[in-house]
């Protein structure tokens, strides 16, 4: 029996894999990562470093150094470089760690939105479906029979209500969530365990993001999430702002956007440009900073 952890580069999946290894042994534990090509450079570093630690391998300084070739995203030119660098990094990583499966669809979230002719949002995130859910399911179904493998996700005890959707999506495969079981740990405790294991925390967590996925950009995020992105990485925010406007022009529609808000009981679009301009103008009372949203790539399943 093999045990496959859906590895995201976040502390939840890392600590889930740690529990799986303790119970079933490193030799029976596999990690599966589906790459959107827009992860933060330091998240790739953390993912590689933590995976090597899981498999009791020497710290892969050559791979960690290679991560420095991944550019931060400011324009489509940076995406072009990433599409060259990341497949090479994936090959080198899998050669170093044969139990680490790094898969890439080859598209970014914005490329998926363009092909699907819709801007992803908290209700329908085609990027999750195309770049993670479909890719991972094809690999699992082509590699294992249901009785040959158990799958694991990194959600914790505060998200246990999401398991019903996950289990339904993966039937007849068995899916477990180790971090929903005792001993119960929150993110701070997981980060402490990381430090005790000699792992440096991802910079996105240090910058106040609730999850370390997609470089801080997530269409399931709320107004507060995007304001934090604006404050912490303005260049990346502006890139996504421009892509949203580009999609509106491509579709010939201004009535769709990543964010919405309710004004006088009427739901209205809220573009990233509008949100930024309000923040920069000091109109902060109009912005719901507590609206964080959350990543749901292996939690919310749709057929978009």
**Three-state DSSP class for 263?**
strand
Q: Supply the pLDDT for residue 295.
A: 57
Q: Supply the pLDDT for residue 303.
A: 44
pLDDT over 80 at 202, yes or no: yes
pLDDT over 90 at 297, yes or no: no
**CATH superfamily name and code, 2-208:** HUPs (3.40.50.620)
pLDDT over 50 at 304, yes or no: no
Q: What is the pTM of this model?
A: 0.93
pLDDT in tens, 102-114: 999 999 999 999 9
Are 227 and 292 within 8 A, CB to CB?
A: no
Note if the bond before 258 is cis, omega within 30 degrees.
Answer: no
Question: What mean pLDDT is predicted for residues 263-277?
Answer: 92
pLDDT over 70 at 262, yes or no: yes
Residue 69 or 304, more confident? 69
pLDDT over 90 at 166, yes or no: yes
Q: Supply the pLDDT for residue 171.
A: 96
CB atoms within 10 A of CB 88: 11
Distances (CA, A) of 245 to 114, 132, 228: 12, 25, 20
**Cα separation of 59 and 186, whole Å?**
26
Closest to 102 measured CA to CA, from 54, 127, 135, 71? 135
Distances (CA, A) of 217 to 1, 43, 228, 238, 286: 36, 13, 10, 11, 21
Q: Supply the pLDDT for residue 56.
A: 97
Q: Supply the pLDDT for residue 194.
A: 94
Question: What mean pLDDT is predicted for residues 199-208?
Answer: 92
pLDDT over 50 at 149, yes or no: yes
pLDDT over 80 at 292, yes or no: no
């Amino acid at each position: 029996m093999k045990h496959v952890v859906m590895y995201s580069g976040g502390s939840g999946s890392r600590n889930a894999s740690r529990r799986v290894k303790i119970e079933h042994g490193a030799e029976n534990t596999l990690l599966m990562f589906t790459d959107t090509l827009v992860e933060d450079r330091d998240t790739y570093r953390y993912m590689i470093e933590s995976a090597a630690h899981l498999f009791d391998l020497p710290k892969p300084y050559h791979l960690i150094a290679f991560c420095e070739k991944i550019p931060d995203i400011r324009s489509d030119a940076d995406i072009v470089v990433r599409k060259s660098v990341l497949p090479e990094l994936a090959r080198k990583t899998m050669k170093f760690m044969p139990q680490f499966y790094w898969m890439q669809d080859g598209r970014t979230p914005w490329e998926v939105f363009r092909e699907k002719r819709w801007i992803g949002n908290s209700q329908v995130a085609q990027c999750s479906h195309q770049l993670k859910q479909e890719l991972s399911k094809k690999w699992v179904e082509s590699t294992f029979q249901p009785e040959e493998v158990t799958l694991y996700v990194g959600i914790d005890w505060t998200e246990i209500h999401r398991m019903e959707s996950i289990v339904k999506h993966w039937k007849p495969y068995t899916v477990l969530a180790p971090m929903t079981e005792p001993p119960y740990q929150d993110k701070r405790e997981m980060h402490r365990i990381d430090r005790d294991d000699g792992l440096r925390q991802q910079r996105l967590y240090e910058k106040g993001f609730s999850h370390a996925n997609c470089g801080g950009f997530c269409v399931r995020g709320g107004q507060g999430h995007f304001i934090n992105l604006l404050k912490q990485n303005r260049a990346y925010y502006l890139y996504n702002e421009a892509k949203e406007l580009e999609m509106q022009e491509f579709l010939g529609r201004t009535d769709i956007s990543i964010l919405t808000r309710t004004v006088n009981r009427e739901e209205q679009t809220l573009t990233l440009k509008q949100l930024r301009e309000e923040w920069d103008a000091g109109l902060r009372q109009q912005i719901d900073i507590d609206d964080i949203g959350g990543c749901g790539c292996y939690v919310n399943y749709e057929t978009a």
